[in-house]
């Protein structure tokens, strides 16, 4: 019955290996050369082993004839040995290297000892070699799946690593020359042609193009860029030629910061990974010594104290089975792989995680604190309403833009943007700025006043109060009130949905901190559904408020602070976990935060938390499954109930299941 099951399994392996070679191996991003060679070895070994299943020992003896009556046994051994070396030579080499380097107790050593022992036992008893080779074959299948999963995760991160530019184009003597990005100084003009990566951060001085930022943000829609726009390294120019004046050196550019972040992510281990590493260091030697004791102590006790035969073969077989079962592959491989795949899946969505420890902390987040400006709002003033106009909305806006044309204040800039046309300075004269109140000017010969209610009171002009929250620009023309313009920081389109998604994800409390006036802060918080809001705070006050929230939070719950990274570095570093969003081009964000969201969409905050929770859920599933199956089969193996085939399932089967489960961390698109 066992041989029939193994034969069916071998047929499945052959079909699987052939299918993977044909359908996956043929794709450009399918298999590496090493994975393809390993799959060919698996296919060849499974084919030989299946063929040997149908050739009995008697058939080997018959083939050798009467001239060499004992040669059949050794010919059969040679056939199995060749197959064993085809599938297992690299494991034997690793085991020998480990012994030389005094790093004995690892998976390769356990596999080598167990399979060589099984081969030796088969020679001694003239038994079956099938078990030894089956153990090695299925172990290698598990290793292949693990390697493929790591490769897929690495490719997700490699897509991000593809942002590394190979060269920068500079114009010399009318010709383009390719030079190393490190050689380009600040203020130099570089040329980016269609299809090329922007190598260094800068400002466009000539040309326009659509920029592909998908490797940075996970967004497929291109961004339009024109003269005067800032561009960051790592984007790809899709349609036009750009001339860019660099604002940073390559080593300080966005692409360098991101690459450094990604390359160092694996060095920051989670508590789960540290536990597994420490567990394996104690567990593996312990089971090796336990297997040794199982091989020798019972036979000695039977001979010396019970007067029974030693049954060396039985106990050595049990010890070898015990060794195969005890191999901690499922834990040692699948736990780091789960985190690695989680980080890879997150990077594909434009969420950069600096290490698996931060992924673990994020999964425990129950309090999320937001900065308002630039995080939940756009951080840019926009005209949000025109009320009580006596001369028409467009005309009122035109007079306001002309009156404010000499000012560089953000409010003035927002009025000029809303007007949307070039300002003819010849139409404006006698501009006077009244500090803290507004401006007066002559526009087309008419006296125009634009400012707050204090300016209206100063000029003794009655004005209308506004029901809307925001900055109110009252307008008067020739001493008569003409209406008012409402300017406010616009809430981002997905901010309300982001708060709702956080609640769905199990976040207990959302808090907003801002330096804005209480009325504005309360209005924004109420419209978004934020639980608590603290207004009129200085940067130092925000740190104090976060520390206060950290003191009152419950148990193991973690607090995340989300900011745009521009002036939030102290708070980002003080929270349990700092999340910087809209980090494209912000060095401060990349330096200070633990998790970086490459675009400014707040919906990604909930997505990052969901990714972390899915990853940790899979980690705990794998730990539970591996330990329960291992210890159950170890007990069965020690008393002789579990044979080598059950050992194969306990080791390789559980490892493959754990690896396949870990691969699920890559699929985060629909979270």
Question: Which residues share a beta bridge with 451?
Answer: 438, 474
Residue showing tokens 């693990």? 146
Distance CA 565, CA 169 (A): 31
- What's the angle, vertex CA 291, arms to CA 288 and CA 297, rounded to 5? 130
CA distance linking residue 306 with residue 161, whole number of Å: 67
Half-sphere exposure of 20 (CA within 13 A, CB side): 21
Task: Please state, in angstroms and rounded to a whole number, the distance separating the CA atoms of residues 183 and 181.
Answer: 5
Q: In what order do the strands lie in the sheet with 471-477?
A: 377-387, 480-491, 471-477, 446-451, 438-443, 428-434
Q: Is 420 helix (H, G, I), strand (E, B) or coil?
A: coil
Query: Which pLDDT score is estimated for 163?
Result: 67
Alpha-carbon distance of 369 to 559, in angstroms, equals 7
The pLDDT value recorded for residue 143 is 83
645, pLDDT greater than 90: no
User: Looking at 81-90, 180-189, 333-342, which range is the least confident one?
Assistant: 333-342
At residue 266 the predicted structure's pLDDT band, cuts being 50, 70 and 90, is: low
Reply yes or no on whether the pLDDT at 158 is more than 60: no
Strand partners, 386: 485
Specify the pLDDT at position 189.
92
The answer to whether 257 and 587 are in contact (CB under 8 A) is yes
Give which of 474, 489, 472, 463 is closest to 440, Cα–Cα: 474
More confident residue, 356 or 1: 356
- Of the two residues 467 and 21, the one the predictor is more confident about is 21
Whether the predicted pLDDT of 166 surpasses 90: no
pLDDT score for 585: 47
Is there a contact between 396 and 386 (Cβ–Cβ < 8 Å)? yes
How far apart (Å, rounded) are the C-alpha atoms in residues 252 and 249? Answer: 5
Positive or negative, the Cα torsion across 12, 17, 21, 24? Answer: positive
Res 647: pLDDT: 78
User: 44 or 123: whose pLDDT is higher?
Assistant: 44
Dihedral sign from CA coordinates of 633, 278, 577, 580: negative
Q: Residue 480: is it exposed, middle or buried by C-beta count within 10 angstroms (0-12/13-18/19+)?
A: exposed
Fill in the DSSP letter of residue 198.
P
Residue 135, pLDDT above cutoff 70: yes
Q: Using H for helix, E for strand and C for coil, what is the string for 508-549?
A: CEEEEECCCCHHHHHHHHHHHCCCEEECCCCHHHHHHHHHHH
**Collapsing DSSP states into helix, strand and coil, what is residue 167?**
coil
Q: Does residue 424 carry a catalytic annotation?
A: no
Residue ranges and CATH numbers for the domains of the chain are 168-199+201-247 (2.70.150.10), 350-373+492-611 (3.40.50.1000), 379-491 (3.40.1110.10)
Mean pLDDT of 309-316: 84
Contact 555, 524 (CB under 8 A): no
pLDDT confidence of residue 348: 81
The pLDDT value recorded for residue 508 is 93
474 by DSSP, 3-state: which? strand
Q: Is 445 helix (H, G, I), strand (E, B) or coil?
A: coil
Q: Tell me the average pLDDT across 631-652.
A: 79
d(CA 350, CA 234) in angstroms, rounded, equals 13
- 428 pLDDT above the threshold of 70: yes
DSSP letter, residue 487: E
What does the pLDDT read at residue 33?
A: 83
H, E, C per residue of 212-253:
ECHHHHCCCCCEEECCCCEECCCCEECCCCEEEEECCCHHHC
Work out the number of other CB atoms within 10 angstroms of the CB of residue 32. 15
User: Span 614-629, mean pLDDT?
Assistant: 90
Nearest to 243 by CA among 228, 222, 224, 221: 228
Task: Give which of 229, 261, 192 is closest to 181, Cα–Cα.
Answer: 192
Most confident of 110-119, 235-244, 327-336, 590-599: 235-244
* pLDDT > 60? residue 566: no
Give the C-alpha separation, 666 to 219, whole Å. Answer: 17
Q: How far apart are CA 388 and CA 397, in angstroms?
A: 12
CB atoms within 10 A of CB 495: 24
Mean pLDDT, the chain, as a whole number?
A: 84
pLDDT of residue 219: 62
pLDDT for residue 640 is more than 50: yes
DSSP-assigned letter for residue 641: -
Q: Is 596 a residue whose pLDDT tops 70?
A: yes
DSSP helix/strand/coil, 646: helix
Task: Given the residues 371, 489, 516, 564, select the one marked as catalytic.
Answer: 371
* Furthest-apart CA atoms within the chain: distance in Å: 127
Helical (H) or strand (E) element with 471? strand 471-477
Which residue do the tokens 């199956």 mark? 629
Question: CA–CA separation, 535 vs 520, rounded Å?
Answer: 9
Predicted confidence at residue 195, as pLDDT, reads 87
What confidence score (pLDDT) does residue 261 get? 67
Backbone angles phi, psi at 242, to 5 degrees: -120, 140
Tokens of 379: 């951080």
């Amino acid at each position: 019955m066992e041989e029939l099951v193994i034969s069916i399994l071998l047929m499945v392996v052959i079909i699987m290996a052939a299918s993977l070679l044909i359908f996956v191996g043929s794709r450009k991003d399918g298999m590496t050369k090493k994975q393809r060679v390993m799959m060919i070895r698996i296919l060849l070994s499974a084919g030989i082993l299946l063929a040997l299943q149908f050739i009995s020992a008697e058939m080997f003896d018959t083939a050798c004839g009467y001239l060499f009556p004992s040669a059949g046994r050794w010919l059969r051994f040679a056939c199995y040995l060749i197959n064993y070396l085809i599938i297992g030579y690299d494991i034997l080499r690793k085991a020998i290297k480990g012994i030389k380097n005094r790093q004995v107790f690892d998976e390769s050593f356990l596999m080598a000892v167990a399979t060589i022992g099984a081969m030796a036992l088969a020679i001694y008893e003239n038994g079956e070699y099938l078990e030894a080779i089956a153990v090695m074959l299925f172990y290698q299948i598990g290793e292949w799946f693990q390697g493929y999963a790591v490769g897929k995760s690495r490719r997700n991160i490699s897509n991000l690593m593809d942002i590394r530019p190979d060269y920068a184009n500079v114009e010399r003597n009318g010709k383009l020359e390719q030079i190393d990005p490190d050689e380009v100084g600040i203020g130099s003009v570089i040329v980016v042609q269609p299809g090329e990566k922007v190598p260094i951060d800068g400002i466009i001085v000539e040309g326009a193009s659509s920029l592909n930022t998908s490797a940075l943000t996970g967004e497929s829609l291109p961004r339009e860029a024109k003269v005067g726009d800032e561009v960051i390294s790592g984007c790809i120019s899709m349609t036009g030629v750009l001339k860019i004046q660099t604002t940073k050196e390559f080593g300080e550019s966005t692409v360098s910061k991101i690459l450094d972040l990604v390359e160092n992510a694996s060095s920051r281990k989670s508590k789960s990974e540290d536990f597994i590493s420490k567990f394996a260091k104690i567990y593996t030697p312990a089971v090796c010594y336990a297997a040794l004791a199982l091989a020798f102590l019972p036979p000695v006790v039977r001979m010396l104290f019970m007067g029974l035969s030693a049954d060396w073969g039985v106990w050595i077989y049990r010890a070898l089975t015990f060794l195969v079962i005890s191999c901690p592959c499922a834990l040692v491989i699948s736990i780091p792989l789960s985190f690695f795949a989680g980080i890879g899946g997150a990077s594909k969505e434009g969420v950069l995680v600096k290490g698996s420890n931060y992924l673990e902390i994020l999964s425990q987040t129950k309090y999320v604190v937001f900065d308002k400006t630039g995080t939940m709002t756009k951080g840019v003033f926009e005209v949000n309403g025109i009320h009580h106009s006596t001369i028409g909305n467009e005309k009122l806006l035109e007079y306001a833009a002309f009156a404010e044309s000499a000012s560089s204040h953000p409010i003035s800039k927002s009025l000029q943007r809303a007007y949307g046309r070039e300002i003819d300075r010849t139409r404006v004269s006698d501009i006077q700025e009244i500090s803290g109140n507004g401006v007066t000017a002559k526009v087309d010969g008419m006296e125009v006043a634009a400012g707050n209610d204090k300016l209206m009171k100063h000029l003794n002009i009655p004005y209308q109060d506004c029901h809307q929250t925001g900055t109110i620009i009252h307008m008067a023309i020739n001493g008569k009130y003409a209406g008012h313009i409402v300017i406010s920081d616009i809430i981002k389109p997905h901010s309300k949905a982001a708060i709702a998604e956080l609640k769905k994800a199990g976040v207990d409390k959302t808090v907003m901190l801002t330096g804005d006036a209480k009325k504005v802060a309360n209005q924004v918080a109420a419209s978004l559904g934020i639980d608590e809001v603290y207004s009129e705070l200085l940067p130092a006050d925000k740190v104090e408020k976060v520390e206060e929230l950290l003191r009152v939070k419950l148990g193991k719950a973690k607090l995340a602070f989300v900011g745009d990274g521009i002036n939030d570095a102290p708070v980002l570093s003080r929270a349990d976990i700092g999340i910087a969003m809209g980090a494209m081009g912000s060095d401060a964000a990349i330096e200070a935060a633990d998790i970086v969201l490459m675009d400014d969409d707040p919906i990604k905050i909930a997505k990052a938390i969901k990714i972390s929770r899915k990853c940790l859920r899979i980690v705990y599933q794998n730990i539970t499954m591996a330990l329960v199956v291992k210890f159950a089969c170890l007990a069965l193996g020690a008393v002789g109930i579990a044979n080598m085939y059950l050992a194969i399932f306990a080791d390789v089967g559980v490892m493959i299941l754990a690896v396949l489960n870990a691969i699920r961390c890559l699929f985060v698109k629909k979270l």
